[in-house]
C-alpha cells in the first residue's frame, strides 16, 4: 500500500492526513469529504454560530412587531389621529354653521 492510498490531502488546511481523519461522503469519488474532520468541524461550528447570530439578530425585530404593547400603542396612535381628524371636521362644521 502506497502512502497515497492511506493519506488524503485536505483542500482546506492543506495537510495530508489519514483517511480516517476525513468524514465519509457518499457523493465524493473516494467516499471521503475533501476537508478533514478538524476543518469540517470548524466550518460547521462557524456556520452554526452564524445561523445563531442571524437568529438572534432577527428575533428582536420580530418580537417587537409582534408585541401586544406595540400593537396597542400603534392602535392608540391611530385613534388619536382619527380623533383629531374628527374634531377638525366638527370645528369646520361649527365654523360653517356660524357662517
Asked if residue 36 binds Zn ion (CB under 5 A), the reply is: yes
Residue whose entry in the numeric block shows the C-alpha cell 481523519: 21
| Among candidate residues 44, 42, 39, the one with its CA nearest the CA of residue 13 | 39
Q: Stretches 2-10, 24-32, 47-55, 86-94: which one binds Zn ion (CB under 5 A)?
A: 2-10
Candidates 8, 26, 39, 56: give the one binding Zn ion (CB under 5 A). 39
CA distance 22 to 33: 6
Candidates 8, 10, 22, 33: give the one binding Zn ion (CB under 5 A). 10
What are the DSSP calls for 31-71, one per residue? SEEEEEHHHHHHHHHHHHHHHHHHHHHHHHHHHHHH-HHHH
Q: Stretches 12-20, 49-57, 58-66, 76-84: which one binds Zn ion (CB under 5 A)?
A: 12-20
Asked if residue 33 binds Zn ion (CB under 5 A), the reply is: no
Give residues in contact with Zn ion (CB under 5 A): 10, 12-13, 36, 39
Amino acid at each position: 500500500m502506497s502512502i497515497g492510498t492511506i493519506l488524503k490531502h485536505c483542500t482546506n488546511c492543506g495537510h495530508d492526513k489519514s483517511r480516517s481523519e476525513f468524514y465519509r461522503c457518499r457523493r465524493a469519488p473516494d467516499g471521503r469529504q475533501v476537508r478533514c474532520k478538524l476543518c469540517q468541524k470548524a466550518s460547521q461550528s462557524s456556520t452554526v454560530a452564524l445561523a445563531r447570530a442571524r437568529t438572534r439578530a432577527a428575533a428582536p425585530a420580530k418580537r417587537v412587531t409582534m408585541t401586544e404593547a406595540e400593537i396597542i400603542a400603534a392602535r392608540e396612535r391611530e385613534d388619536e389621529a382619527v380623533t383629531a381628524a374628527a374634531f377638525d371636521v366638527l370645528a369646520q362644521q361649527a365654523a360653517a354653521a356660524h357662517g
